[in-house]
A and B are shown apart, each in its own frame.
Chain A
Amino acid sequence: EVQLVESGGGLVQPGGSLRLSCAASGFIFSNYALYWVRQAPGKGLQYVSAISSNGDSTYYANSVKGRFTISRDNSKNTLYLQMGSLRAEDMAVYYCATAASDVWGKGTTVTVSS
């Protein structure tokens, strides 16, 4: 079965850090560019970051540039999002997805609160 499974979400204080993971199975992970997309409570979808299939190229929304780092380990079929200097406005469900949007994970929830 083709799937993406996110993990690593949780409660973090403002200014803190968190690393999200997205484990892939059922497809050739190294062939696909991937995204992180987030959804704040009761809000719509927002692009966060993207990475090319080999990891050489990375891209960020302006709102997270300089604070978040996307990476991948194709030997482990896993995508990562290192998040730092977290703010209240980063609180959301974070989804990983293929660049073609044909596979989405179920999401992991990040709560930023003191």
Chain B
Amino acid sequence: DIVMTQTPLSSPVTLGQPASISCRSSQSLVHSDGNTYLSWLQQRPGQPPRLLIYKVSNRFSGVPDRFSGSGAGTDFTLKISGVEAEDVGVYYCMQVTQYPQVTFGGGTKVEIK
């Protein structure tokens, strides 16, 4: 199975300041079809996960443009350009390249300083 490693574990951020989360996979996430199936999910306290980003950098419908994804191969990043109070929660990267054996990163907790 592909192992997904996220850093940091926790990210205290001042409101309005940027936040950045890294995700590294144990092997390349480039699929044989040429796409890279790396997604980012947000889980607010007490809520189910919600899709933010798919295929590295595509924002899902309704996701604010302060969220952006980048990366390639084995290294990926989620950035929040200016953290708002509603962004508090845990963020997970997820690989779907090895479907159906998807795997998740351990999660990064974003909290307000």
Contact = CB atoms under 8 A, between A and B. Distances in A.
A104 B48 contact: yes
A101 B94 contact: yes
A47 B107 contact: no
Given A47-B101, A50-B100, A100 B54 contact: yes
Contacts of B96: 99, 101
A45 interface: yes
A35 interface: yes
Contact of B49 (A45, A50, A61, A99): A45
**Chain B interface mostly:** loop
B71 interface: no
B57 interface: no
Interface residues of B, number: 22
A94 to B, nearest CB: 11
Contacts of B104: 44-47
Contacts of A9: none
A44 B92 contact: yes
B102 interface: yes
Given A45-B49, A106-B48, A101 B100 contact: no
A99 B99 contact: yes
B25 interface: no
Contacts of A100: 51, 54
Q: Which 3 A-B pairs have the closest CB atoms?
A: A50-B100, A59-B100, A45-B104
Interface of B: 39, 41, 47-51, 54, 60, 90, 92, 94, 96, 99-107
